[in-house]
Amino acid sequence: MNNNSKVLALKYRPKTFRDLIGQEVVAQTIFNSIKNDRSANAYLFTGIRGVGKTTIARIVAKSLNCLNGIDKLCSEKKCENCEAISNSNHIDVLEMDAASKTGVDDVRDLIEFSRYGPTTAKYKIFIIDEVHMLSKQAFNALLKTLEEPPEYLKFIFATTEIKKIPVTVVSRCQRFDLSRINSLDLFNFIKEVKNKEKGKISDEALKLIVKISEGSVRDALSLLDRALLNQNEKTELELQSAQKIFGYFDKSYLINLFKFLFKGNEKEVINIYRSIYNQGVEPKIFLNDFLELLYYMKNISSLKLDGTNFSLNDEEFKEIELISKEISPEILLLFWQFTIKTLDELDIVSNQNLSIEMFLIRLLYIKEDKIIEDKNIDLKHENYLNDINISEKNQSNKNEEELEVKNKTISQIKNFSQEETLNPERKIDTNLKKAEIRSFDNLINLCNENKELKLKYELETNVSLVSFVDKKIEISFNENLDKDFVKDLSLKLYEWTGQRWIIAFSKEIGELSKKQKEDIEKSKIIDEVKKKDVFKKIIETFPDAELIDVKLKDNN
């Protein structure tokens, strides 16, 4: 094939270790092992698509069999062996696709073929691509030969899914994990290819190619091929044109969408999304970019503008930095969870575009609910209450009541229980006799007296006391605590005492709950009873008997 007619991914495929980019450590290790005649029985290359697994396998095969030796490995003018290996038609170097030959019979044929020495080369080499596709029986058939092959035989495996390969096979190979190619290295490489092809593409468009390729050289070259075919001979291919070619959109659209999303402007959010969709952007690509922007907003303080991922320009970086200062991390993490969930839902819905619109509307309402919740109650920090006096200014109109705020606000966060007290339908009878609560045990007893069994259960079982002083209760709790606990307890404390209480959650562990204390005491009593002679006689008579509970006799 004429080299000029090849696609770029084949035309610029590395021919020697020096041509590889981003895999210097792997190349140097293998080069040294072959040069010192200490090459492995089997090599295993793993990594994402397009980082050079099969390419390195062929370079290793050429390095082992090159007539000029590894120090003078053929590059342009190739020896007989290197030429045949490059064209995949060498009689002693067999390339096999495990995706199409997965059975044990295929491997048995391979083992049978391995019994004969090489015909023209120094080594007989089996290159098996996507080796994880082999069946369990095929792997088992390969084990013995893999561990102790003849001196002339080498195995080279390549896979994208290393976890699917039995550990017994992996342990018999010299494993190399090929990393994604660094963005800057990949940018410089495709820019050099662009210049060789005499293409006119802006650096910003090349950076977009690097971003989309996600560290894969083959993907980057394929995208560059498309860009070169779409460019105008007279003008340079700019970023906006490249975005249309590759189905990607300008991040400024997404940043504006976030602005209106946080403002609660549904109309503008939907209009911006529809303009993005009309550009030909797939819903999954939109959601992935949405997740990427959420990540930047959450971690913008730890990111550098001069990074090498080419994801943000100066203006976008500043915009995201401003937005992130106004949004709490909790909101961003909540958005992240809903976005991940929506990605899974896309495979269920036939019209993915409608699913995205409903996803954005859901985020609008989540944002609104979160703001209301933050204003009403914060379960993780201390809630200080406003001292509010309810007075009636107009006796003739009983439906209208005004609130008179006598004292200054102590905290920015208002407890939800206060909102309940402002509801006329739930007005508290101030003529009731007020109780005095001096301790945590008093509070539990009061709940029992007033038939508030749910509150009593929560206090005894799911709450640990940290401190109880001057109308302020500081507690810790377990995961079973009812979500309305603070609201219900605050309301009842005000109803019983006529005064407002502070209920604060602490990071300290606190005392054991009453239920835990009772269980420990009960366990001690049972242990003591088990030591008594009466219990031992019962066990002798009834070996299967088990002591579950003990009731102490009232001496009175």
pLDDT in tens, 451-486: 888 888 888 888 888 888 878 888 888 878 887 888
Least confident of 145-149, 260-264, 480-484: 480-484
- The phi and psi torsions of 278 (rounded to 5 degrees) equal -70, -15
Is 22 in the same domain as 71? yes
Is 409 in the same domain as 281? no
- State the CATH number of the domain containing residue 326: 1.20.272.10
Tokens of 273: 């999304």
Is 241 in the same domain as 169? no
Greater confidence, 378 or 195? 195
Task: Name the domain boundary from 335, 356, 376.
Answer: 376
Task: Name the domain boundary from 177, 201, 222.
Answer: 177
Residue 381 in domain:
no
Nearest Cα neighbor of 143 from 155, 152, 151, 133 is: 155
Least confident of 227-241, 384-398, 429-443: 384-398
CB of 38 closer than 8 Å to CB of 29: no
Residue 550 in domain:
yes
Residue 137 in domain:
yes
Is 394 in the same domain as 458? yes
Tokens of 239: 């970023």
Residue 383 in domain:
no
Is 18 in the same domain as 95? yes
Is 393 in the same domain as 486? yes
Q: Region 415-426: what's the mean pLDDT?
A: 41
Is 191 in the same domain as 151? no
CB atoms within 10 A of CB 517: 12
Q: Which range, 214-218, 404-408, 547-551, is most confident? A: 214-218
Between CA 170 and CA 179, with CA 176 as vertex, the angle to 5 degrees is: 130
- State the CATH number of the domain containing residue 59: 3.40.50.300
Is 238 in the same domain as 256? no
Helix, strand, coil tally for the chain in percent (to 5): 55, 10, 40
- Return the pLDDT at 191: 92
Residue 119 in domain:
yes
pLDDT in tens, 106-136: 888 888 888 888 888 899 999 999 999 998 8
Domain count, the chain: 5
Nearest Cα neighbor of 476 from 446, 509, 503 is: 509
Task: Name the domain boundary from 348, 376, 404.
Answer: 376
Is 153 in the same domain as 72? yes
Is 173 in the same domain as 187? no
Greater confidence, 280 or 286? 286
Residue 382 in domain:
no
Give long-range contacts, CB 8 A cutoff, 24+ apart: 241-245. Answer: 241/205, 242/201, 242/204, 242/205, 242/208, 242/209, 243/208, 243/279, 244/279, 244/280
Return the percentage of the chain with pLDDT > 90, whole number: 16
- State the CATH number of the domain containing residue 209: 1.10.8.60
Q: Region 339-362: what's the mean pLDDT?
A: 87
Instruction: Quote the domain boundaries for residue 193.
Output: 183-246
Is 494 in the same domain as 533? no
Question: Which are the contacts of 313, defined by CB distance < 8 A and separation ≥ 6?
Answer: none
Nearest Cα neighbor of 486 from 361, 377, 347 is: 377
Is 235 in the same domain as 100? no
